[in-house]
Structure 1
Amino acid sequence: MSFLVHWAIVAASLWVAAYLIPGVHVGSVSALLIAALMLGLVNALVRPILTILTLPITILTLGLFYLVVNGVAFALAASLVPGFEIAGFGSAILGALLVSLVSSVLGAVLAPRR
């Protein structure tokens, strides 16, 4: 059940990003759901590897390069899902930032407390 709640939160966050950021476009509800699943997979599998590989430059930039890593993961998910498109790298960084913020807020409000 926790997986479904998290998936719905990421899908809702992705919808908010597509609504607010002009460079992020989701073509349909099915593309939105698949994109949320793919974003979760990319964040679980690829982003940790990117984080380790870019750790020196992330430390050098006092953590700001981590925004670029998140943008790359977001753009990678968009490239794997038909119907989920990103206009440019700036849109990918903003989209990743907004999805992260909205999912954190929604997770704090909707996720069951333990």
Structure 2
Amino acid sequence: MIEGENNNIQSQANSKVPDNNEGKKPSAMKIVGYNLLVFAAYTVICAVTSKDGGFVFDMFFIGIQFFACIIFAIINRSWGWILSALMVLIIGFSTCVSMLSISGI
């Protein structure tokens, strides 16, 4: 009977589920979402604050964010950062082209 209780105690100790998510990495879609949120924020700020040269500042910030995403992808070894970099580059290029055509330059 003592042996059975000992096995039960060991099985309960082995089936312990961690209560916190400290060691868990953020999902790739959260990384992409946060990067697109930051991108949208500075794009709106650049478009509102300067009418003629807003796309120049926007291109500057897009380049910084693109290279930062690439560096984080290398450091963290995460495909979410690569996806973020590509999304920022593709959406940022099309946004800059549309800001250029709207401003008439």
Please give the TM-score of this superposition, normalised by the length of structure 1: 0.31
More strand by share: 1
The structure, 1 or 2, with the larger RCO (C-alpha pairs under 8 Å, 6+ apart) is 1
Larger radius of gyration: 2
Please give the TM-score of this superposition, normalised by the length of structure 2: 0.33
